[in-house]
Every structure is written in C-alpha cells, then in structure tokens.
Amino acid sequence: MFGEKKVKLNKKILIIAPHFPPLRTSAAHQMRDLVDAFSKKKINTYVITPNFNQDKLVIEKKTKYSYVIKVKTPKFIDINFFKRFFVEFVNPYILIFLIRNNKITLNSYDGIIYYSPSIFLSPLLKFFKKRNSCKIYLILRDIFPKWAFDLKVIDNVFIYKFLCFFEKKLYKLSDTIGVQTPSNLNYFRKLRLNSHIHVLPNWQTNLFSKKIMTFNKSEIKNIVYTGNLGIAQDIQILIDFAKHSMHNQNLRFIFIGRGLFSDQIIKYSKIFHNIKYYDEMELKDLQKILDFAHVGMFSLNKNHSLDNIPGKFLTYLNNQLPVIGFVNKGNDILKFSINYKFGYVTSSRDLDKMYSNLMNILDNVNYFSYKEDAKRLFNDHFDVDTTVDTICESL
C-alpha cells in the first residue's frame, strides 16, 4: 500500500534476552514469539541468553534465520532479593567473559534488542554497542525499581536510589525505549532522556486456528489464572474471590504458576472444593487447560503507580477467553473496555459486583459476544507481526 513502511530485509539483529526458553515465564514465551516472527520475515537474529540449568558453559542452536546462544550463569530466579541482586550484578561480566572465550560473533550486527528486566546488563550492551556502532532498542516491561518501591518490596530509600542508578544507566545507553502502555510515558518525561520513547504493547503469536469451545450451561465453568503468584499480582484478591464464590457449585478456580502465594493456594485447594492448583508447566500443557477454560482472570496490586498489561491478559484474549480482573486505578486496561466488550475489569475490590459480572459473562446469551470481542482486542493491539515492524523502524 502507498506510504506503508517496509521492514528492511537482510538485517542481522542481536537480541539479549534474560528470559528465554527453557524458562517458562511469560517473558520467555514473548521473546520466543518475537524471534519466530523475525524469522518469518527472513530477518536473521542472534539471541544471547543466560541459562542456569545447563551443564555446558555455552550451548548453541541454529535454525535457518535464528542462532540461539545459551550461556551458563548462576541461578537468578526463585532466590532471595540480596542473592538475586548479586547474581544479576555479576551476570554481565560472566557473559562477556564466556562470549569472548568461546569465539562468539562480536560484530556485524545492524541493531541490538534488549528485554528488561533486568536493569543490570548495561556492561554487556555497552560491550556490543562499542563493537558494532549500532542502535540499541530497549523493550521495557516492568519499570524496576519503581514498582518494587511502590509495593514496599523495597522499603529502604538508599537501596532504591542505588538501584535507580543502574536503571538510568540502562536508559541512557538505549537509543529507543519501548514502554508497554501510554501512561508509562509520563514517567520518562520527568527523566529528560535523549532516548526516543514510544509505546510498544506486549505481544504474542496469533492463534489463528484456535477452536471455539461448545458451551453447556449446566457444566462446571473453569476460571483460570496463569502466571506469577506474587505481591505485584495481588493474588490474595483472587483467592478471596474464589472463596467468595464457593456457594456456586458450577464454578472452579484454577491457579497455574509459582511464586510467593503458591503454598497458600495449595493449602486452600485442600480445603475448598472450587480451588485447584497446578505448578508452572510447559506451554503445550498449559494450552490443554486453556482449551477447556471458560474465563481468564488476573489481578494487579492496587498500589502500582505505573501501569502494565500482563502477558496472561494477552494469553486469555488470544485464546478467545473473556477476562475478569482487578487492577490499579487508572490502569490502561480499563480504557480498552470502552471499545471492546471483552469481560469485566475493575479498580475496586467489590467481590459481589465481580461475581455478578462473572455470572453475566457466563450467561449463554452473552458469552460468545465476549469471546469475539476478546479476540478482536488481541488482533487490533497485540499481534507480534506489528511488534517486529515497530522495532525494525527504530533500528
């Protein structure tokens, strides 16, 4: 079409991804989808990712358009705060050392993409930028340490300011920063950076062939949560909602993931008939559960001052699942409900009202219109092909 920007082919892109399969996090799935989308457009990508679950120091895997280099590092997830800080601080130097000693290609890249968190890999980015004289595109998701300070995960102001030093160092090194919501732009206006800042929504590979599940009004309805079970997600409100709804024998609340609240959910699953728990699982196994789900649910801590759109929200939409959710005030997800009838999301903690809306969604007359709008929202805003085009225009 006239005036449409085209992605330049034959690019060679370096992607530095702290999260990548075999990790099962939403960030790992996102980065895999991004690499696959680059390959689909015949753009060569070289992925460097730390991996604590391997014996060899370096593992390399090549496909036609992608080259994944997994470098052995200490474990950096599911550990305490201070140990994680130390590991993430030393990781870039471990990566540089092993990359240099294993004769991994250091130059001839046309651009560098970095997914954050973590905020500590600036030395590695600087190492590659110096050798390639190319631009860095920072995909910024959770704005750390701000969210942790808001939620009092970090309550020491000196530690907070110390971490802010690494955060700003990363931003100054980046030529373009893609934030996930329009409201995040206000945070960066105050920082007065030279970097170009724009919105890069979260993304997934489109499940075009997803089946429409038949609907039987009398069957048990599966309300599914998948993802991290931590303070940032305010899992307690979802547990309370499941308990609040236990009088309805046809509702089953399924929690899938791991985190701080895992043990609590396991305990409740042994007490309440309508609560089920599964540990974090492979994507193909998760998909089997989603195929029999009726509604997706999520929550965000009400004390967040910065908005984010969690990957699980996209997963539900992509699977044509209506969505219910509790969010912080003013969250950008609330604005989607103006033009898309995808479910019910609220910044209040009114359990009665949430239950009433859930019942309305599950009403046989309304249900399929919610499913259609969920998919329409995904197609309009979160398809990975659009993400690739946006990033390439900035490199």
Sorted by where each begins, the domain ranges of the chain are 12-200, 221-381
Q: How far apart are CA 236 and CA 316, in angstroms?
A: 20
Q: How far apart are CA 194 and CA 192, in angstroms?
A: 7
Q: What pLDDT, on the 0 to 100 scale, is given for residue 110? A: 92
Q: What pLDDT, on the 0 to 100 scale, is given for residue 237? A: 95
More confident residue, 23 or 358: 358
pLDDT in tens, 3-60: 444 445 568 999 999 999 988 888 999 999 999 999 999 999 999 999 998 889 999 8
More confident residue, 9 or 369: 369
Half-sphere exposure of 235 toward its Cβ, with a 13 Å CA cutoff? 24
Phi then psi for 65, rounded to 5 degrees? Answer: -120, 0
Phi then psi for 277, rounded to 5 degrees? Answer: -130, 135
Q: What pLDDT, on the 0 to 100 scale, is given for residue 214? A: 56
pLDDT of 367 above 50: yes
Q: For domain 221-381, give the fold.
A: Rossmann fold (3.40.50)
Decide if 12-200 and 221-381 have a common fold.
yes
Single-letter code of the amino acid located at 335: K
More confident residue, 113 or 261: 113
pLDDT in tens, 108-147: 899 999 999 899 999 999 999 999 989 999 999 889 999 8
pLDDT of 1 above 50: no
pLDDT in tens, 319-339: 999 999 999 998 999 999 888
- Answer whether the bond into residue 322 is a cis peptide, omega within 30°: no
Percent of the chain with pLDDT over 70: 95
Mean of the per-residue pLDDT values of the chain: 90
- Answer whether the bond into residue 310 is a cis peptide, omega within 30°: no
pLDDT of 104 above 90: no
For residues 358-374, give the mean pLDDT: 91
Q: What pLDDT, on the 0 to 100 scale, is given for residue 217? A: 53
More confident residue, 240 or 108: 240
In this structure, of 121-135, 186-200, 253-267, the range with the lowest mean pLDDT score is: 186-200
Sheet with 111-116, strands from edge to edge, namely 58-62, 66-72, 44-51, 12-16, 111-116, 136-140, 176-179, 196-199
Confidence of residue 209 (pLDDT cuts 50, 70, 90): low
pTM of the model: 0.90
Q: What pLDDT, on the 0 to 100 scale, is given for residue 2? A: 36
pLDDT in tens, 370-390: 999 999 999 999 999 999 999
Could you say which architecture CATH assigns to the domain 12-200?
3-Layer(aba) Sandwich (3.40)
Q: What pLDDT, on the 0 to 100 scale, is given for residue 215? A: 56
In this structure, of 63-72, 86-95, 102-111, 218-227, the range with the lowest mean pLDDT score is: 102-111
pLDDT of 187 above 50: yes
Q: What pLDDT, on the 0 to 100 scale, is given for residue 213? A: 56
Structure tokens at 240: 């309370």
Give the CA distances from residue 67 to residues 32, 76, 275, in Å, rounded to whole numbers and listed in that order: 12, 23, 42
